[in-house]
Amino acid sequence: MSRNTWTWIGVCGLALSALVVFFTVRYPGALVAEDGQMRLVYLVLLLVLVGSSVIVGWRQRAGLALRQALIWIAIGLALVIVYAFRGEVETLTTRIAGELAPASAVEVAPGHVRLTRARDGHFHAHARVNGTPVRFLVDTGASDVALSAADARRLGIDLSTLRFDRLYATANGRIAAARVRLDEVTIGSVTVRDVAASVSRDGQLEQSLLGMSFLGALASVRFDGDRLTLEQ
């Protein structure tokens, strides 16, 4: 290897030694923790990338070497900034996801999801009922989860075997529906099992409703402006 190459290797070695000494003196015990060790690894990798880029570029011309070094330094700083503000970045990502797909639950924490109000002014939720996708309108005024005839058929329910002997009051008047039990209803990481539900006749219910037989089983249902938070 050339003399310049050995020079850069020496510089990188000295910089690495300086990093270790800095962490040891400035933050005693920092390198003992796994998090501190990972940070040191990231810094070492960044140093290696910058050093190797400079060495390769130096063989061609000094200007290229300097540009490559600055590019890698900028990338490293960007990664550090994203990591430092990861909480804010996660919040921003959550907001964007909610705006793009309001009915899709955004997981805030395990068993803790959030929905965004749609343009029609209502909250909708993409759920899985017994493993089958169903789109619900969230309705705290509905006593049960109410399935439209079309969604019930997709779930494998044979409407010809049901007894439509239960009367429900809706915005369009009273309708007759049949009582059923659903093994589980899942929205994101929130799951409620053995859910009481009803199935309406054809043409009586345009969209399935997510009622209190699901919502009432949760620890918390909180409305906050255009956000609906469900917590199990």
Q: How many CB atoms lie within 10 A of CB 30?
A: 15
Q: In sequence order, what DSSP letters do the residues of 126-185 get, joined into one string?
A: EEEETTEEEEEEE-TT-SSEEE-HHHHHHTT--GGG----EEEEETTEEEEEEEEEEEEE
* pLDDT of res. 223: 92
* Residue 19 scores a pLDDT above 80: no
* pLDDT of res. 7: 56
* pLDDT of res. 93: 57
* pLDDT of res. 100: 55
**What structural domains does the chain harbor?**
3-84 (no CATH), 101-231 (2.40.70.10)
The token pair at 191 is 């799951």
CB-based contacts of 167, cutoff 8 Å, min separation 6:
174, 175, 176, 177
pTM of the model: 0.58
Stronger pLDDT, 18 or 176, i.e. the higher one: 176
